[in-house]
């Protein structure tokens, strides 16, 4: 797939797989792995367009990237902490329920 070029004034800009302009500071997703990172540099070399990411600090072909909106990026570190808290709450609830069931099962009717 050929990288799209979008004219801006007299200059040409580097565009992602959907034709969105990639700028330094943009957030992009590498379509191969889903990795999201910030753009730190752009270059055109041998008729190929390249975008350097912050993490990992590697160059990627522009036609393998898509621009993402920063507000749509989920902070995975906080998401992991929230998920861990939810798992702990569920575990505590299960342990309490299990203890209550054991108390109920211990009751026997005489007869």
Could you give phi then psi for residue 85, rounded to 5 degrees?
-65, -40
3-state secondary structure of 79: helix
Cβ-contact 11, 26 below 8 angstroms: no
As a residue count, the chain comes to 111
Cβ-contact 74, 35 below 8 angstroms: no
pLDDT truncated to tens, each residue of the chain (111 aa)? 444 444 434 456 899 999 999 999 999 999 888 888 999 999 999 889 999 999 889 999 999 999 998 777 765 555 566 677 778 888 888 888 888 777 766 555 555
């Amino acid at each position: 797939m050929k990288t799209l070029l979008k004219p801006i004034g007299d200059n040409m800009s580097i565009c992602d797989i959907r034709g969105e302009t990639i700028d330094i500071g943009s957030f992009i997703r590498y379509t191969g792995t889903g990795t999201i990172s910030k753009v730190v540099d752009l270059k055109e070399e041998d008729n190929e367009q390249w975008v350097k990411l912050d993490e990992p600090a590697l160059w990627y072909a522009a036609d393998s990237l898509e621009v993402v909106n920063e507000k749509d990026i989920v902070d995975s570190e906080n998401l992991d902490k929230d998920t861990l808290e939810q798992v702990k709450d569920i575990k505590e609830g299960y342990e309490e329920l299990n203890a209550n069931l054991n108390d109920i099962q211990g009751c026997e009717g005489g007869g």
